[in-house]
Structure 1
Amino acid sequence: MANHKSAEKRARQTIVKTERNRFYKTRIKNVTKAVVTAIESADKDTATVAMKTANKYLHHCVSKGVLKKGTAARKVSRLQTAVNAI
C-alpha cells in the first residue's frame, strides 16, 4: 500500500476520518427520518420539535466539514417546507 512515511500517515488519518464521517452521516439520516415520520403522522408539534433538532444538527455537521453549507441548507429547506405544509 503506502510506501512513504507521509503516505502511511495519510492512510491512518483516512481510516479515522472515514469512521467519524460514518457516525455523522448515520445520525443525519436518523434525524431526518424522525422529521419525515412526524410529517407522515401529521403531528405538527412533534414535527416542529424534530425539525428544530434536525436543523441544529445539520448545521453542526457543516461546521465539522461533513456536509457542505448548500447541502445542509437544501435539506433543511425541503424538510421545513414539508413541516409547514402540515
Structure 2
Amino acid sequence: MANTASARKMTRKIAKRTAINKSRRSRMRTYVRKVEEAIAAGNQQDAQAALQSAEPEIMRAAQKGIVHKNNASRKVSRLAARVKALAA
C-alpha cells in the first residue's frame, strides 16, 4: 500500500495509463483479427480492405509504445504476405 502522497498519485497515474494501454492493445488486436477472419474466409478483397485499415492502427500502437516498432512491422508484413497469397 502506498504511504506517501507522491506514491498514491503514481498509483493513480499507473492505473490510468494501464487502462489506456489496455484499450489501445485491444483495439489493435480487433483490427488484426478482422484481417485474419477475412483471410480464413478466403475473401481477398475483404482481407485487403481490412489490412488497409489495420496497418495504421498497428503502427499507431507501435508509436504509442504498446508494441515494439519491429514487432508491428513484422505483423503488417506477415499479414500482407498472407493476403497476397490469397490472390495466387
Shift of 1:50: 0.4
2:32 corresponds in structure 1 to: 32
2:48 corresponds in structure 1 to: 48
Superposition RMSD in Å: 1.0
Q: Is 1:74 the equivalent of 2:74?
A: yes
Shift of 1:5: 2.0
Cα distance in 2 for residues equivalent to 1:70 and 1:5 = 38
The alignment of Structure 1 onto Structure 2 pairs a total of residues equal to 86
5+ residue gaps, structure 2, are: none
Cα distance in 2 for residues equivalent to 1:2 and 1:60 = 33
Q: Is 1:17 the equivalent of 2:12?
A: no
1:20-76 C-alpha deviation (Å, 9 max, x unpaired): 111111111110110001111111111111001111101111222212101111111
5+ residue gaps, structure 1, are: none
Cα distance in 2 for residues equivalent to 1:48 and 1:38 = 9
Cα distance in 2 for residues equivalent to 1:42 and 1:28 = 22
| Structure 2 residue identity aligned to 1:53 | S
Shift of 1:19: 0.7
Q: Is 1:64 the equivalent of 2:86?
A: no
